[in-house]
A and B are shown apart, each in its own frame.
Chain A
Amino acid sequence: MYNIVSLAFKYLFIFIIYFFMFSIIRLIYLDIKGMGLNTYNKSTYLKLINQKDTLPFKIKEVYPIDKDVTIGRSNQNNICIKDPYISKQHMRIVEDEGDFYLEDLNSANGTFVNGDRVMDVVKLKNGDSIRLGQIEFLFVNRK
Protein backbone atom coordinates (compact mmCIF):
# COMPACT_ATOMS: atom_id res chain seq x y z
CA MET A 1 0.00 0.00 0.00
CA TYR A 2 2.63 2.51 1.10
CA ASN A 3 4.91 1.61 -1.79
CA ILE A 4 2.21 2.27 -4.38
CA VAL A 5 1.28 5.63 -2.87
CA SER A 6 4.91 6.63 -2.58
CA LEU A 7 5.56 5.71 -6.20
CA ALA A 8 2.61 7.79 -7.32
CA PHE A 9 3.54 10.66 -5.09
CA LYS A 10 7.06 10.99 -6.38
CA TYR A 11 5.72 12.08 -9.77
CA LEU A 12 3.21 14.36 -8.10
CA PHE A 13 5.89 15.95 -5.93
CA ILE A 14 8.06 16.76 -8.90
CA PHE A 15 5.09 18.07 -10.84
CA ILE A 16 4.01 20.38 -8.03
CA ILE A 17 7.52 21.65 -7.37
CA TYR A 18 7.90 22.61 -11.02
CA PHE A 19 4.43 24.08 -11.05
CA PHE A 20 5.38 26.16 -8.02
CA MET A 21 8.52 27.38 -9.74
CA PHE A 22 6.57 28.21 -12.85
CA SER A 23 4.15 30.30 -10.84
CA ILE A 24 6.95 32.21 -9.12
CA ILE A 25 8.75 32.85 -12.38
CA ARG A 26 5.48 34.05 -13.86
CA LEU A 27 4.97 36.47 -10.96
CA ILE A 28 8.54 37.74 -11.31
CA TYR A 29 7.98 38.19 -15.04
CA LEU A 30 4.84 40.22 -14.43
CA ASP A 31 6.71 42.27 -11.86
CA ILE A 32 9.48 43.14 -14.31
CA LYS A 33 7.04 43.80 -17.15
CA GLY A 34 4.94 46.11 -14.99
CA MET A 35 7.88 48.36 -14.18
CA GLY A 36 8.40 49.80 -17.63
CA LEU A 37 4.83 49.91 -18.84
CA ASN A 38 3.18 52.85 -17.15
CA THR A 39 6.02 55.30 -17.78
CA TYR A 40 6.94 54.55 -21.37
CA ASN A 41 3.35 54.54 -22.60
CA LYS A 42 3.15 58.29 -22.12
CA SER A 43 4.31 60.37 -25.04
CA THR A 44 5.39 63.31 -22.86
CA TYR A 45 7.93 62.83 -20.13
CA LEU A 46 11.05 64.18 -18.47
CA LYS A 47 14.12 62.01 -18.89
CA LEU A 48 17.05 62.19 -16.51
CA ILE A 49 20.35 63.11 -18.19
CA ASN A 50 22.61 62.80 -15.15
CA GLN A 51 24.08 59.47 -14.26
CA LYS A 52 21.69 58.10 -11.69
CA ASP A 53 24.52 56.73 -9.54
CA THR A 54 26.21 60.12 -9.05
CA LEU A 55 23.23 61.70 -7.30
CA PRO A 56 23.05 61.21 -3.53
CA PHE A 57 19.23 61.29 -3.40
CA LYS A 58 16.44 59.18 -4.81
CA ILE A 59 15.42 59.93 -8.37
CA LYS A 60 13.72 58.08 -11.18
CA GLU A 61 14.95 57.71 -14.73
CA VAL A 62 11.71 58.92 -16.28
CA TYR A 63 8.86 61.15 -15.05
CA PRO A 64 5.66 61.16 -17.12
CA ILE A 65 3.93 64.54 -17.46
CA ASP A 66 0.21 64.97 -17.20
CA LYS A 67 -1.75 68.19 -17.63
CA ASP A 68 -0.23 69.97 -14.65
CA VAL A 69 2.92 68.88 -12.85
CA THR A 70 4.74 70.60 -10.00
CA ILE A 71 8.30 69.81 -9.04
CA GLY A 72 9.98 70.60 -5.73
CA ARG A 73 11.45 69.29 -2.54
CA SER A 74 8.27 69.21 -0.47
CA ASN A 75 6.03 66.17 -0.50
CA GLN A 76 3.03 68.12 -1.78
CA ASN A 77 4.47 68.27 -5.30
CA ASN A 78 3.60 65.73 -7.99
CA ILE A 79 7.28 65.07 -8.44
CA CYS A 80 9.22 65.24 -5.21
CA ILE A 81 13.01 65.36 -5.48
CA LYS A 82 15.08 65.61 -2.30
CA ASP A 83 17.87 67.66 -3.83
CA PRO A 84 19.05 70.30 -1.29
CA TYR A 85 19.48 72.84 -4.11
CA ILE A 86 15.86 72.56 -5.19
CA SER A 87 13.33 74.79 -3.47
CA LYS A 88 10.28 73.41 -1.74
CA GLN A 89 8.12 74.49 -4.66
CA HIS A 90 10.48 74.92 -7.52
CA MET A 91 8.68 74.89 -10.86
CA ARG A 92 5.63 73.61 -12.65
CA ILE A 93 4.86 72.41 -16.15
CA VAL A 94 1.39 73.19 -17.50
CA GLU A 95 -0.29 72.05 -20.65
CA ASP A 96 -2.30 74.59 -22.62
CA GLU A 97 -3.83 73.69 -25.98
CA GLY A 98 -1.31 70.96 -26.69
CA ASP A 99 1.72 73.05 -25.78
CA PHE A 100 3.70 72.70 -22.57
CA TYR A 101 4.84 75.70 -20.57
CA LEU A 102 7.41 75.77 -17.81
CA GLU A 103 6.84 78.19 -14.97
CA ASP A 104 9.42 78.97 -12.29
CA LEU A 105 7.82 79.33 -8.85
CA ASN A 106 10.30 81.88 -7.43
CA SER A 107 12.87 79.23 -6.73
CA ALA A 108 16.03 80.24 -4.86
CA ASN A 109 18.53 78.77 -7.32
CA GLY A 110 16.47 79.11 -10.47
CA THR A 111 15.48 76.89 -13.35
CA PHE A 112 17.45 76.85 -16.60
CA VAL A 113 16.07 75.85 -19.98
CA ASN A 114 18.85 75.23 -22.51
CA GLY A 115 21.20 77.18 -20.22
CA ASP A 116 19.05 80.30 -19.87
CA ARG A 117 17.44 81.15 -16.56
CA VAL A 118 13.67 81.12 -16.64
CA MET A 119 12.37 84.46 -15.44
CA ASP A 120 8.65 83.97 -15.93
CA VAL A 121 7.19 81.35 -18.26
CA VAL A 122 8.87 79.51 -21.10
CA LYS A 123 7.32 77.39 -23.82
CA LEU A 124 8.90 73.95 -23.96
CA LYS A 125 9.62 72.05 -27.13
CA ASN A 126 10.82 68.52 -27.73
CA GLY A 127 14.50 68.05 -26.81
CA ASP A 128 14.84 70.99 -24.44
CA SER A 129 17.13 70.49 -21.48
CA ILE A 130 15.86 71.58 -18.09
CA ARG A 131 18.29 72.11 -15.27
CA LEU A 132 17.28 72.59 -11.66
CA GLY A 133 19.50 72.11 -8.66
CA GLN A 134 22.04 69.42 -9.41
CA ILE A 135 19.91 67.57 -11.93
CA GLU A 136 19.28 67.93 -15.60
CA PHE A 137 16.25 66.64 -17.46
CA LEU A 138 15.53 66.16 -21.11
CA PHE A 139 12.03 67.23 -22.10
CA VAL A 140 10.51 64.72 -24.51
CA ASN A 141 7.24 65.42 -26.28
CA ARG A 142 6.33 62.98 -29.05
CA LYS A 143 3.03 64.17 -30.40
Chain B
Amino acid sequence: MNKKLISYRVPRNLLVLVDLMAIFLLFIHNAENPDKFTLITGVSLVFIIYISNFILLKISSGDHYIFLIVTMLITLGIIMIYRIDPNLGAKQVVWVSAGIVAFFITYVIVKKIKDWDKWLKFYVIASMILFIFTLIFGQRIGGAKNWIKIGRFSFQPSEIIKLLFIFFVASYYTNQKKYNLDKKGGYKLFLVVYGFIGFLFLQKDLGAAAVFYLIFLSIQYVYEEDRKLILYNVFLAFVGALASYFIFDHVKIRIETWIDPWKYIDNKGYQITQSLFAIASGGFFGTGVGLGHPDFIPAVHTDFIFSAICEEMGIFAGIAVMMLFLILVYRGFKIAFSQENLFFRIVAFGISAMFGFQAFIIFGGVIKMIPLTGITLPFISYGGSSMIASFIALGILQVASEELDTEGEEENEQRA
Protein backbone atom coordinates (compact mmCIF):
# COMPACT_ATOMS: atom_id res chain seq x y z
CA MET B 1 0.00 0.00 0.00
CA ASN B 2 2.68 2.37 1.06
CA LYS B 3 4.74 1.56 -1.98
CA LYS B 4 1.88 2.38 -4.25
CA LEU B 5 1.23 5.75 -2.64
CA ILE B 6 4.76 7.00 -3.19
CA SER B 7 5.53 5.83 -6.67
CA TYR B 8 6.85 7.50 -9.76
CA ARG B 9 3.67 6.45 -11.48
CA VAL B 10 1.62 8.96 -9.53
CA PRO B 11 3.52 12.24 -9.48
CA ARG B 12 0.82 14.09 -7.59
CA ASN B 13 1.47 11.96 -4.53
CA LEU B 14 5.11 13.02 -4.58
CA LEU B 15 3.88 16.58 -4.59
CA VAL B 16 1.85 15.94 -1.46
CA LEU B 17 4.89 14.34 0.14
CA VAL B 18 6.94 17.49 -0.43
CA ASP B 19 4.17 19.57 1.11
CA LEU B 20 3.83 17.32 4.14
CA MET B 21 7.57 17.41 4.72
CA ALA B 22 7.54 21.19 4.54
CA ILE B 23 4.70 21.41 7.06
CA PHE B 24 6.49 19.00 9.37
CA LEU B 25 9.61 21.13 9.11
CA LEU B 26 7.71 24.29 9.96
CA PHE B 27 6.13 22.52 12.86
CA ILE B 28 9.44 21.57 14.45
CA HIS B 29 10.63 25.08 13.81
CA ASN B 30 8.03 26.36 16.24
CA ALA B 31 8.08 23.32 18.51
CA GLU B 32 7.71 25.41 21.70
CA ASN B 33 4.56 27.17 20.61
CA PRO B 34 2.93 25.29 17.75
CA ASP B 35 0.51 27.59 16.07
CA LYS B 36 -2.71 26.59 14.41
CA PHE B 37 -2.33 29.16 11.68
CA THR B 38 0.64 27.43 10.09
CA LEU B 39 -1.10 24.09 10.21
CA ILE B 40 -4.30 25.37 8.61
CA THR B 41 -2.40 27.18 5.84
CA GLY B 42 -0.32 24.13 5.05
CA VAL B 43 -3.10 21.59 5.11
CA SER B 44 -5.38 23.74 3.01
CA LEU B 45 -2.59 24.13 0.45
CA VAL B 46 -2.14 20.37 0.22
CA PHE B 47 -5.86 19.88 -0.27
CA ILE B 48 -6.16 22.60 -2.90
CA ILE B 49 -3.27 21.22 -4.91
CA TYR B 50 -4.30 17.59 -4.67
CA ILE B 51 -7.98 18.13 -5.39
CA SER B 52 -7.44 20.51 -8.29
CA ASN B 53 -5.06 18.05 -9.93
CA PHE B 54 -7.64 15.34 -9.44
CA ILE B 55 -10.52 17.42 -10.85
CA LEU B 56 -8.48 18.39 -13.88
CA LEU B 57 -7.80 14.74 -14.64
CA LYS B 58 -11.55 14.16 -14.72
CA ILE B 59 -12.80 17.15 -16.71
CA SER B 60 -10.06 17.79 -19.24
CA SER B 61 -9.09 15.46 -22.03
CA GLY B 62 -5.99 17.52 -22.78
CA ASP B 63 -2.57 17.77 -21.26
CA HIS B 64 -2.30 16.87 -17.56
CA TYR B 65 1.37 17.53 -17.09
CA ILE B 66 1.49 21.31 -17.28
CA PHE B 67 -0.68 21.69 -14.21
CA LEU B 68 1.41 19.15 -12.28
CA ILE B 69 4.61 20.98 -13.16
CA VAL B 70 3.08 24.28 -12.16
CA THR B 71 1.86 22.99 -8.81
CA MET B 72 5.38 21.76 -8.08
CA LEU B 73 6.75 25.23 -8.85
CA ILE B 74 4.10 26.77 -6.63
CA THR B 75 4.95 24.42 -3.78
CA LEU B 76 8.61 25.37 -3.91
CA GLY B 77 7.69 29.04 -4.09
CA ILE B 78 5.35 28.89 -1.11
CA ILE B 79 7.83 26.98 1.05
CA MET B 80 10.39 29.66 0.37
CA ILE B 81 8.05 32.63 0.82
CA TYR B 82 6.65 31.18 4.02
CA ARG B 83 10.13 30.71 5.35
CA ILE B 84 11.01 34.34 4.56
CA ASP B 85 7.80 35.78 5.97
CA PRO B 86 4.93 33.61 7.30
CA ASN B 87 2.37 36.36 6.71
CA LEU B 88 3.26 36.67 3.05
CA GLY B 89 3.26 32.88 2.77
CA ALA B 90 -0.29 32.69 4.08
CA LYS B 91 -1.34 35.43 1.67
CA GLN B 92 0.34 33.57 -1.16
CA VAL B 93 -1.76 30.50 -0.35
CA VAL B 94 -4.85 32.69 -0.77
CA TRP B 95 -3.52 34.01 -4.09
CA VAL B 96 -2.80 30.49 -5.29
CA SER B 97 -6.33 29.41 -4.44
CA ALA B 98 -7.70 32.44 -6.27
CA GLY B 99 -5.39 31.60 -9.17
CA ILE B 100 -6.61 28.02 -9.36
CA VAL B 101 -10.23 29.22 -9.33
CA ALA B 102 -9.29 31.65 -12.12
CA PHE B 103 -7.68 28.73 -13.97
CA PHE B 104 -10.88 26.69 -13.95
CA ILE B 105 -13.10 29.67 -14.79
CA THR B 106 -10.83 30.58 -17.73
CA TYR B 107 -10.85 26.99 -18.87
CA VAL B 108 -14.65 26.91 -19.01
CA ILE B 109 -15.09 30.38 -20.56
CA VAL B 110 -12.41 30.04 -23.22
CA LYS B 111 -13.80 26.67 -24.21
CA LYS B 112 -17.41 27.89 -24.42
CA ILE B 113 -16.85 30.97 -26.57
CA LYS B 114 -15.85 30.24 -30.14
CA ASP B 115 -15.05 33.56 -31.78
CA TRP B 116 -11.86 34.58 -30.00
CA ASP B 117 -10.02 35.32 -33.22
CA LYS B 118 -12.58 37.88 -34.42
CA TRP B 119 -12.14 40.45 -31.67
CA LEU B 120 -8.88 42.03 -32.73
CA LYS B 121 -10.10 45.58 -32.17
CA PHE B 122 -11.48 44.75 -28.75
CA TYR B 123 -8.10 43.49 -27.54
CA VAL B 124 -6.34 46.64 -28.67
CA ILE B 125 -8.94 49.01 -27.24
CA ALA B 126 -9.14 47.17 -23.91
CA SER B 127 -5.37 47.20 -23.47
CA MET B 128 -5.12 50.86 -24.45
CA ILE B 129 -7.77 51.75 -21.87
CA LEU B 130 -5.87 49.79 -19.23
CA PHE B 131 -2.62 51.51 -20.22
CA ILE B 132 -4.12 55.00 -20.02
CA PHE B 133 -5.73 54.07 -16.73
CA THR B 134 -2.36 53.05 -15.36
CA LEU B 135 -0.71 56.22 -16.55
CA ILE B 136 -3.30 58.40 -14.82
CA PHE B 137 -4.00 56.47 -11.63
CA GLY B 138 -0.80 54.47 -11.41
CA GLN B 139 1.27 54.15 -8.25
CA ARG B 140 5.01 54.03 -8.32
CA ILE B 141 6.42 50.94 -6.65
CA GLY B 142 10.12 50.34 -7.14
CA GLY B 143 11.04 52.47 -10.14
CA ALA B 144 8.17 51.63 -12.45
CA LYS B 145 4.78 53.28 -12.42
CA ASN B 146 2.72 50.21 -13.13
CA TRP B 147 0.41 49.59 -10.19
CA ILE B 148 -3.23 50.53 -9.75
CA LYS B 149 -4.56 50.73 -6.22
CA ILE B 150 -8.24 50.08 -5.61
CA GLY B 151 -9.08 50.20 -1.93
CA ARG B 152 -6.73 47.83 -0.15
CA PHE B 153 -5.84 45.86 -3.24
CA SER B 154 -3.30 46.82 -5.82
CA PHE B 155 -2.69 45.09 -9.09
CA GLN B 156 -0.44 45.32 -12.10
CA PRO B 157 -2.46 45.86 -15.30
CA SER B 158 0.48 44.93 -17.50
CA GLU B 159 0.05 41.29 -16.41
CA ILE B 160 -3.44 41.22 -17.94
CA ILE B 161 -2.36 43.29 -20.95
CA LYS B 162 0.28 40.65 -21.69
CA LEU B 163 -2.48 38.11 -22.32
CA LEU B 164 -4.58 40.57 -24.33
CA PHE B 165 -1.46 41.28 -26.36
CA ILE B 166 -0.92 37.61 -27.18
CA PHE B 167 -4.58 37.31 -28.18
CA PHE B 168 -4.26 40.39 -30.35
CA VAL B 169 -1.19 39.18 -32.23
CA ALA B 170 -2.70 35.71 -32.58
CA SER B 171 -5.96 37.05 -34.00
CA TYR B 172 -3.99 39.14 -36.49
CA TYR B 173 -1.99 36.19 -37.77
CA THR B 174 -5.06 33.94 -37.81
CA ASN B 175 -6.78 36.33 -40.20
CA GLN B 176 -3.60 37.44 -41.91
CA LYS B 177 -5.20 37.20 -45.35
CA LYS B 178 -8.04 39.49 -44.37
CA TYR B 179 -5.91 42.21 -42.78
CA ASN B 180 -3.06 42.01 -45.23
CA LEU B 181 -5.00 42.84 -48.40
CA ASP B 182 -2.90 45.91 -49.28
CA LYS B 183 0.37 44.20 -48.23
CA LYS B 184 0.75 46.74 -45.45
CA GLY B 185 -0.89 44.73 -42.66
CA GLY B 186 2.48 43.84 -41.22
CA TYR B 187 3.43 47.49 -40.89
CA LYS B 188 0.12 48.34 -39.22
CA LEU B 189 0.71 45.50 -36.75
CA PHE B 190 4.14 46.96 -36.14
CA LEU B 191 2.68 50.33 -35.32
CA VAL B 192 0.22 48.90 -32.77
CA VAL B 193 2.82 46.65 -31.15
CA TYR B 194 5.26 49.53 -30.79
CA GLY B 195 2.38 51.53 -29.33
CA PHE B 196 2.11 48.88 -26.61
CA ILE B 197 5.83 48.93 -25.99
CA GLY B 198 5.83 52.74 -26.00
CA PHE B 199 3.24 52.80 -23.23
CA LEU B 200 5.39 50.42 -21.18
CA PHE B 201 8.34 52.74 -21.71
CA LEU B 202 6.24 55.64 -20.43
CA GLN B 203 5.59 53.61 -17.30
CA LYS B 204 9.31 52.81 -17.14
CA ASP B 205 8.37 49.14 -16.94
CA LEU B 206 11.24 47.95 -19.08
CA GLY B 207 11.20 44.31 -17.98
CA ALA B 208 7.63 43.97 -19.23
CA ALA B 209 8.57 45.83 -22.42
CA ALA B 210 11.31 43.27 -23.06
CA VAL B 211 8.88 40.38 -22.50
CA PHE B 212 6.29 41.92 -24.87
CA TYR B 213 8.92 42.49 -27.51
CA LEU B 214 10.34 38.97 -27.28
CA ILE B 215 6.89 37.38 -27.49
CA PHE B 216 6.09 39.45 -30.54
CA LEU B 217 9.41 38.66 -32.19
CA SER B 218 8.99 34.91 -31.74
CA ILE B 219 5.41 34.85 -33.06
CA GLN B 220 6.46 37.06 -35.95
CA TYR B 221 9.42 34.81 -36.69
CA VAL B 222 7.12 31.82 -37.05
CA TYR B 223 4.14 33.34 -38.85
CA GLU B 224 5.14 36.50 -40.71
CA GLU B 225 5.23 36.01 -44.46
CA ASP B 226 7.13 39.23 -45.15
CA ARG B 227 10.51 38.20 -43.76
CA LYS B 228 12.17 41.59 -43.90
CA LEU B 229 9.78 42.88 -41.24
CA ILE B 230 11.60 40.65 -38.77
CA LEU B 231 14.87 42.36 -39.58
CA TYR B 232 13.24 45.77 -39.14
CA ASN B 233 11.93 44.59 -35.82
CA VAL B 234 15.34 43.49 -34.57
CA PHE B 235 16.89 46.73 -35.78
CA LEU B 236 14.22 48.90 -34.11
CA ALA B 237 14.64 47.01 -30.84
CA PHE B 238 18.37 47.59 -31.00
CA VAL B 239 17.83 51.31 -31.50
CA GLY B 240 15.25 51.36 -28.72
CA ALA B 241 17.55 49.59 -26.29
CA LEU B 242 20.38 51.96 -27.09
CA ALA B 243 18.14 55.01 -26.73
CA SER B 244 16.75 53.84 -23.42
CA TYR B 245 20.29 53.46 -22.10
CA PHE B 246 20.91 57.16 -22.71
CA ILE B 247 17.43 58.44 -21.81
CA PHE B 248 16.54 56.52 -18.67
CA ASP B 249 18.71 56.78 -15.60
CA HIS B 250 17.70 53.48 -14.11
CA VAL B 251 18.56 51.58 -17.27
CA LYS B 252 22.04 53.04 -17.02
CA ILE B 253 22.29 51.94 -13.40
CA ARG B 254 21.18 48.43 -14.28
CA ILE B 255 23.80 48.14 -17.00
CA GLU B 256 26.54 49.55 -14.77
CA THR B 257 25.73 47.18 -11.93
CA TRP B 258 25.60 44.33 -14.40
CA ILE B 259 29.08 45.05 -15.72
CA ASP B 260 30.66 45.58 -12.31
CA PRO B 261 28.43 45.30 -9.25
CA TRP B 262 31.40 45.15 -6.83
CA LYS B 263 32.24 48.79 -7.45
CA TYR B 264 28.81 49.87 -6.22
CA ILE B 265 28.41 47.23 -3.51
CA ASP B 266 27.33 49.72 -0.84
CA ASN B 267 24.45 51.24 -2.78
CA LYS B 268 23.38 50.52 -6.35
CA GLY B 269 24.90 47.06 -6.61
CA TYR B 270 23.84 45.92 -3.14
CA GLN B 271 20.91 43.80 -4.28
CA ILE B 272 22.69 41.88 -7.00
CA THR B 273 25.82 41.25 -4.92
CA GLN B 274 23.75 39.96 -2.01
CA SER B 275 22.00 37.67 -4.47
CA LEU B 276 25.34 36.33 -5.69
CA PHE B 277 26.55 35.83 -2.10
CA ALA B 278 23.36 33.95 -1.30
CA ILE B 279 23.67 31.60 -4.27
CA ALA B 280 27.35 31.01 -3.50
CA SER B 281 26.83 30.29 0.18
CA GLY B 282 24.23 27.66 -0.62
CA GLY B 283 26.51 25.31 -2.48
CA PHE B 284 25.21 22.18 -4.15
CA PHE B 285 22.75 21.07 -1.51
CA GLY B 286 21.97 24.37 0.17
CA THR B 287 22.10 25.40 3.78
CA GLY B 288 18.80 23.73 4.63
CA VAL B 289 15.44 25.48 4.82
CA GLY B 290 15.47 28.09 7.59
CA LEU B 291 19.23 27.98 8.13
CA GLY B 292 20.39 30.50 5.55
CA HIS B 293 20.00 34.25 5.40
CA PRO B 294 18.03 34.96 2.22
CA ASP B 295 16.46 37.96 4.00
CA PHE B 296 19.67 39.93 3.38
CA ILE B 297 18.58 40.41 -0.23
CA PRO B 298 16.13 43.28 -0.81
CA ALA B 299 12.89 42.18 -2.55
CA VAL B 300 13.77 38.56 -1.99
CA HIS B 301 10.16 37.33 -1.99
CA THR B 302 9.38 38.67 -5.47
CA ASP B 303 12.21 39.17 -7.95
CA PHE B 304 14.95 37.39 -6.06
CA ILE B 305 13.06 34.30 -4.97
CA PHE B 306 15.32 32.20 -7.14
CA SER B 307 18.41 33.24 -5.17
CA ALA B 308 16.64 32.30 -1.95
CA ILE B 309 15.79 28.86 -3.34
CA CYS B 310 19.40 28.42 -4.45
CA GLU B 311 20.71 29.40 -1.04
CA GLU B 312 18.52 27.26 1.14
CA MET B 313 17.73 24.29 -1.10
CA GLY B 314 20.89 24.27 -3.10
CA ILE B 315 21.99 24.71 -6.69
CA PHE B 316 20.43 21.35 -7.44
CA ALA B 317 17.00 22.70 -6.49
CA GLY B 318 17.75 25.80 -8.58
CA ILE B 319 18.59 23.64 -11.57
CA ALA B 320 15.43 21.65 -10.90
CA VAL B 321 13.36 24.84 -11.04
CA MET B 322 14.96 25.74 -14.36
CA MET B 323 14.32 22.25 -15.69
CA LEU B 324 10.70 22.39 -14.56
CA PHE B 325 10.32 25.58 -16.58
CA LEU B 326 12.04 23.85 -19.47
CA ILE B 327 9.55 20.98 -19.40
CA LEU B 328 6.68 23.45 -19.07
CA VAL B 329 7.80 25.38 -22.14
CA TYR B 330 8.47 22.16 -24.04
CA ARG B 331 4.96 20.97 -23.24
CA GLY B 332 3.60 24.33 -24.39
CA PHE B 333 5.35 24.01 -27.75
CA LYS B 334 4.15 20.44 -28.07
CA ILE B 335 0.59 21.65 -27.47
CA ALA B 336 1.06 24.34 -30.12
CA PHE B 337 2.30 21.72 -32.59
CA SER B 338 -0.60 19.34 -32.19
CA GLN B 339 -3.33 21.99 -32.05
CA GLU B 340 -5.30 22.17 -35.31
CA ASN B 341 -7.00 25.48 -34.66
CA LEU B 342 -4.64 28.19 -35.91
CA PHE B 343 -5.68 30.81 -33.37
CA PHE B 344 -5.14 28.58 -30.37
CA ARG B 345 -1.96 27.29 -31.92
CA ILE B 346 -0.51 30.80 -31.97
CA VAL B 347 -1.89 31.58 -28.52
CA ALA B 348 -0.36 28.40 -27.06
CA PHE B 349 2.95 29.27 -28.67
CA GLY B 350 2.79 32.83 -27.38
CA ILE B 351 1.95 31.79 -23.84
CA SER B 352 4.71 29.20 -23.62
CA ALA B 353 7.12 31.77 -25.05
CA MET B 354 5.92 34.20 -22.39
CA PHE B 355 6.63 31.73 -19.55
CA GLY B 356 9.98 30.88 -21.04
CA PHE B 357 11.16 34.45 -21.61
CA GLN B 358 9.92 35.68 -18.28
CA ALA B 359 11.73 32.86 -16.48
CA PHE B 360 14.86 33.40 -18.54
CA ILE B 361 15.00 37.15 -17.95
CA ILE B 362 14.69 36.86 -14.19
CA PHE B 363 16.96 33.78 -13.86
CA GLY B 364 19.55 35.56 -15.95
CA GLY B 365 19.06 38.74 -13.95
CA VAL B 366 19.61 37.30 -10.50
CA ILE B 367 22.67 35.27 -11.49
CA LYS B 368 24.12 38.34 -13.28
CA MET B 369 24.12 36.77 -16.71
CA ILE B 370 22.05 39.58 -18.25
CA PRO B 371 21.18 43.02 -16.84
CA LEU B 372 18.61 42.76 -14.10
CA THR B 373 15.06 43.87 -14.79
CA GLY B 374 12.40 43.53 -12.17
CA ILE B 375 9.82 41.05 -13.38
CA THR B 376 8.26 38.24 -11.43
CA LEU B 377 9.14 34.61 -11.83
CA PRO B 378 5.83 33.07 -12.93
CA PHE B 379 4.20 30.79 -10.34
CA ILE B 380 7.03 31.15 -7.82
CA SER B 381 7.34 34.83 -6.91
CA TYR B 382 5.04 36.39 -4.37
CA GLY B 383 2.34 38.50 -5.98
CA GLY B 384 -1.37 38.36 -6.59
CA SER B 385 -1.74 39.79 -10.07
CA SER B 386 1.21 37.85 -11.42
CA MET B 387 -0.09 34.61 -9.92
CA ILE B 388 -3.63 35.07 -11.23
CA ALA B 389 -2.49 36.19 -14.68
CA SER B 390 -0.14 33.20 -14.93
CA PHE B 391 -2.95 30.86 -13.98
CA ILE B 392 -5.28 32.44 -16.55
CA ALA B 393 -2.55 31.88 -19.15
CA LEU B 394 -2.25 28.28 -18.00
CA GLY B 395 -6.02 27.85 -18.32
CA ILE B 396 -5.85 29.03 -21.92
CA LEU B 397 -2.97 26.64 -22.55
CA GLN B 398 -5.07 23.84 -21.07
CA VAL B 399 -7.90 24.60 -23.52
CA ALA B 400 -5.39 24.69 -26.37
CA SER B 401 -4.12 21.24 -25.40
CA GLU B 402 -7.46 19.67 -26.26
CA GLU B 403 -8.74 18.86 -29.69
CA LEU B 404 -10.99 21.74 -30.62
CA ASP B 405 -13.60 21.20 -33.26
CA THR B 406 -14.44 24.69 -34.38
CA GLU B 407 -15.56 23.66 -37.85
CA GLY B 408 -19.24 24.58 -38.13
CA GLU B 409 -21.33 21.58 -39.15
CA GLU B 410 -24.05 23.57 -40.90
CA GLU B 411 -21.65 25.53 -43.07
CA ASN B 412 -20.39 22.29 -44.55
CA GLU B 413 -23.86 20.96 -45.21
CA GLN B 414 -24.77 23.91 -47.41
CA ARG B 415 -21.72 23.75 -49.62
CA ALA B 416 -21.79 20.02 -50.27
Contact = CB atoms under 8 A, between A and B. Distances in A.
Interface residues of A, number: 36
B72 A14 contact: no
A99 B317 CA distance: 60
Nearest to A5: B28
Nearest to A6: B288
A115 interface: no
B150 interface: no
Given A20-B14, A21-B327, A22-B8, A14 B316 contact: yes
Interface string A9-37: 11111101111111111111000000000
A12 B79 CA distance: 14
A18 B317 CA distance: 9
Interface in A81-98: 82, 84-88
B320 interface: yes
Contacts of A82: 407, 412
B222 interface: no
Contacts of B65: 24, 27-28
Contacts of A85: 415-416
A56 B406 CA distance: 11
B23 to A, nearest CB: 12
Nearest to B17: A16
Contacts of B412: 73, 82, 84
Contacts of A16: 14, 17-18, 21
Interface in B272-294: 285-291
B314 interface: yes
B416 A2 contact: no
A93 B291 CA distance: 71
Nearest to B341: A58
B314 A14 contact: yes
Interface in A48-70: 56-58
Nearest to B284: A14
A121 interface: no
A4 B313 CA distance: 15
A14 B290 contact: no
Contacts of A27: 11, 65
Interface residues of B, number: 44
A10 B313 contact: yes
A17 B285 CA distance: 13
Contacts of B9: 23
Contacts of B312: 10
B343 to A, nearest CB: 13
Contacts of B405: 58
Contacts of A57: 407
Contact of A17 (B68, B289, B317): B317
B331 interface: yes
A10 B283 CA distance: 12
B98 interface: no
Contacts of A122: none
B25 A24 contact: no
A2 B32 CA distance: 12
A41 interface: no
Interface string B28-50: 11010000000000000000000
Nearest to B315: A14
B85 to A, nearest CB: 18
B109 interface: no
A100 to B, nearest CB: 27
Contacts of A3: 288, 291
B28 A108 contact: no
B72 A17 contact: yes
B288 A7 contact: yes
Given A16-B14, A23-B9, A28-B65, 6 more contacts: A5-B28, A6-B25, A10-B287, A23-B10, A24-B68, A28-B327
For the complex of A and B, 7 pairs with smallest distance between CB atoms: A6-B288, A23-B8, A84-B415, A23-B11, A20-B14, A10-B288, A17-B320
Interface of B: 8-11, 14-15, 17-18, 21, 24-25, 28-29, 31, 65, 68-69, 72, 76, 285-291, 312-314, 316-317, 320, 323-324, 327, 331, 340, 403, 405, 407, 411-412, 415-416
25 contacts: A2-B25, A2-B28, A2-B31, A2-B290, A6-B290, A9-B288, A10-B285, A10-B289, A13-B18, A13-B289, A14-B314, A17-B18, A17-B320, A19-B8, A20-B11, A20-B18, A21-B320, A21-B324, A23-B14, A24-B327, A25-B327, A28-B65, A82-B407, A84-B411, A86-B416
